[in-house]
Structure formats: structure tokens, C-alpha cells
Amino acid sequence: MGTLRFLLALSVAVYHFEGYHGYEMMPGWIEVDSFFVISGFYMALILAETYPPTSRGRAAFYLNRYLRLFPAYAAVLLLSAAAFDYFGTAARATFSLPRIIADLKAMDLASAGYVVLSNVTMIGSEWASFLTNAGHGFVFVTGDARPPAPAYNYLLIPQGWSLGVELAFYAVAPFLLRLRVRWLIIIAAGSLLLREYLSLFGGRAPGWTHSFVPAVLFLFLSGALSFRLKIGRTILNTRRRAIAAWIGLVAFILLFALIPLHIQIKYVVYLVALVISIEPLFELTKNLAWDRFLGELSYPIYLVHFFVAYLVDNTLGTGFTGVQILGTLALAVAVYWALDRNVEPLRHRLGRYLLTARRTMPAHTAAE
């Protein structure tokens, strides 16, 4: 699965770089949907194999997942703040730091607190798609018009809204993913129907079909059901078929824009193929060190690519997409080797401690 995750993250970067000499892979929202499916699969897997359905199991799960996301995020956040302060210009999807600070001073306390909290912790960042600054603070976006000062322009890592969605899913995963399969299917179907309803009748206010958690929950649950039901094992029941599915998904990602079908048809075909293939591909690749390494780079690539684009735009100018891609890959490797690789043992040790440490009761005196 590492190769797929790497290509999906790189596709998001190329999409935000507006292509490379006319070449594009998938639209960014499809890659994000793909990550939600993969996340649902992995969360179902680790909850089944690692974390018991106890308060300690849930605490260890929450700590492990947050430490998986936060260290690299915090590093890129600090780098972005320093770059925005140094260059003073606005990024492609973010206001300039001086404007953000000025607007914070004019906002009410709740709105300013939301900007700080969502930037520093990632928590609630998905709600930035539904808010706009009315001058004194944020109000909900309710119409079709593009808001003049959307809250996501106050995110120093603008793609961080998807991490807010991830954290919201993590919050319910220990409870939700232990339900019976029939309930998972019912909830997933309701979520899909909600997304279709919002797509058709919910207007064009950004986020309702991509960052509204109830409307994307079916993606996570599709991955979880792929694990629970072993959906792909009967179809991809040989190594040769699994390898063919692997190659097919890679080709679909790389050649998506060239396939002569309507984008919604391509999206549905791809998503169904991913859900069917994910469990056999995990079994096929889980012991491949190079594939695992590529997968580890997917999160840093996703985090750093806007920052790299900002640096290149403000030093070399626009149009240096190749430099942006190479810079993204280089910085992603640096973030992995400097942070993620070293945090990994720590978070596993802390998780094991929470799972195995005995509760000690204080000694009571005779007088008590």
C-alpha cells in the first residue's frame, strides 16, 4: 500500500502545483477521499489487533494516532509561519501573516480562538470550509456564493482541513468500528445518501461534500468494511491477481486525466476498485521495506508541498513546478528522517505503557 499512498500524496501536490507541463494526475479531492478509505482500513485493522475495547485501549489509540500526526504537522506549521513572516506575502490558499494577525485582533474571542486552536492542534480545522469572516468574526456559509474571507484562508497549512476530518473519525473509531457489520453498512449507506443529497441540493458552499464528516464517513467505513469482510479475497485470490490490481491502480492514478470517461464515472470505478483491492494489496506489500518507506513519505509530502510552493514562488518565481516537486520530495524525506522515524518508537512505547501499566490504589490507614 505504500506505493499507492506515495503516489496519491504526490498527486495532491501536482494538482496544487497546477500540473507539470500540462500533465496532471487525479483531482486533489479524489486523493483525499482515497486516504479516508485507506485510513478506515488501517484503523479497523489496528483496533482489531492492537487496542482492546477498554478505556485504556481507547486512550492508547487516541494518543498513538495524535502523535502520528502532530510532530510533523507542528514542524511544518512553524516553518510556514516563519516563511510567511519573512516574505510577508500571501500563499496560494492562505492570507499573509500580517493580515491574519490584524484580522485576529478585530475578531471576537470565539473566532480568534478558533483560528489559533485549529492551527495549533488541527482539531476542528475541517470547519474552516463552512465559515467566513464577516469583519467582527466568523459566520456560517449558507449560500452558493464564494465567501470573501473564508476561514480556510486563516490556516497556515491550508490542506490541514483533512487532518481535522481524520481526527474527528479517530474520535469515534474505537466505538464505531466495533459495531456489527450490518450497522456499519447501514451507517455507510446513510452517509453516502447524505453526501449525494448535499451534492445535488446543498448548494456550492465549500466543504459540504468533502469536509463535512457525516457526509464522508462512508469512505472511512468502506475501508473498514473491506477489512472486516475481506471483500477482495474472493476476487483477488492469487498473488498474480493482486499484483495485477496493484499495477492497475497505479496506472489509474497516473493516467486518470487521460481516461476518456466522465470524471464521476472514473471516480466511482476507481473507488470501488480501491475498496476491493485494499486488503489483498496490504497482504501483498506489508513486508516490502521499500514500499513501506514510500508509504511513510506520503504524510510529509502532503504536509510540506504548499510550504515548498510558497518558498519557490517567493524566491525563483512562478512556473518552476519541477523545482517544487523535487523540493517537496527532499523536504518530505528530511521530515521523515528527522521527526517521524524518531517519534515512532516513542509513541509505541507510550501506547504499550497505557495498555500494560497496572492501576495502583493508594494505601488506606486504619483511621480511614
Q: Tell me, what's the pLDDT at 40?
A: 97
Question: Stretch 233-249: mean pLDDT, rounded?
Answer: 90
Provide the percentage of residues in the chain whose pLDDT is more than 70: 94
- 116 domain residue, yes or no: yes
Q: Among 47-61, 68-82, 170-184, 189-203, whose mean pLDDT is lowest?
A: 189-203
Report helix, strand or coil for 8. helix
The H or E element containing residue 132 is strand 131-133
pLDDT at residue 140 is higher than 90 = no
Give the DSSP letter string of 295-334.
Answer: HHHHHHHHHHHHHHHHHHHHHT-TT-HHHHHHHHHHHHHH
Higher local confidence (pLDDT), 349 or 65 = 65
The chain-wide mean pLDDT, for the chain, equals 89
- 254 domain residue, yes or no: yes
- 279 domain residue, yes or no: yes
The parent domain of residue 10 ranges over 2-356
- 361 domain residue, yes or no: no
pLDDT at residue 147 is higher than 80 = no
Q: Tell me, what's the pLDDT at 23?
A: 75
pLDDT at residue 359 is higher than 90 = no
- 53 domain residue, yes or no: yes
pTM, 2 dp: 0.92
Question: Stretch 75-93: mean pLDDT, rounded?
Answer: 92
pLDDT at residue 237 is higher than 70 = yes
pLDDT at residue 122 is higher than 50 = yes
- 309 domain residue, yes or no: yes
Return the top range by mean pLDDT from 147-156, 199-208, 216-225, 359-368: 216-225
Q: What DSSP state is assigned to residue 150?
A: B
Write the pLDDT tens digit of every residue in 245-280.
Answer: 999 999 998 888 888 999 999 999 999 999 999 999
- 365 domain residue, yes or no: no
Q: Cα separations (Å) of 170 from 36, 126, 165, 217, 220? A: 11, 14, 9, 11, 10
pLDDT at residue 356 is higher than 60 = yes
Nearest one of 143, 139, 144 to 127, comparing CA atoms: 139
Report yes or no: 82 and 176 within 8 Å, Cβ to Cβ.
no
Question: Stretch 320-336: mean pLDDT, rounded?
Answer: 95
pLDDT at residue 367 is higher than 50 = no
Q: Tell me, what's the pLDDT at 107?
A: 94
- The total of structural domains in the chain comes to 1
Q: Tell me, what's the pLDDT at 368?
A: 34
Q: What is the distance between the alpha carbons of residues 304 and 84, in angstroms, rounded to a whole number? A: 14
Amino acid type, 306: F
Write the pLDDT tens digit of every residue in 178-192.
Answer: 999 999 999 999 999
Provide the percentage of residues in the chain whose pLDDT is more than 90: 67
pLDDT at residue 78 is higher than 90 = yes
Write the pLDDT tens digit of every residue in 339-355.
Answer: 988 888 888 888 888 88
CB neighbours (10 Å) of residue 256? Answer: 20
Q: What is the distance between the alpha carbons of residues 208 and 130, in angstroms, rounded to a whole number? A: 8
Q: What is the distance between the alpha carbons of residues 222 and 167, in angstroms, rounded to a whole number? A: 17
Q: Tell me, what's the pLDDT at 349?
A: 84
Q: Among 229-233, 271-275, 340-344, 364-368, whose mean pLDDT is lowest?
A: 364-368
Going by pLDDT thresholds of 50, 70 and 90, the confidence category of residue 143 is low
Higher local confidence (pLDDT), 4 or 367 = 4
Q: Which three cell numbers stand for residue 129?
A: 470550509
Write the pLDDT tens digit of every residue in 93-103.
Answer: 899 999 999 99
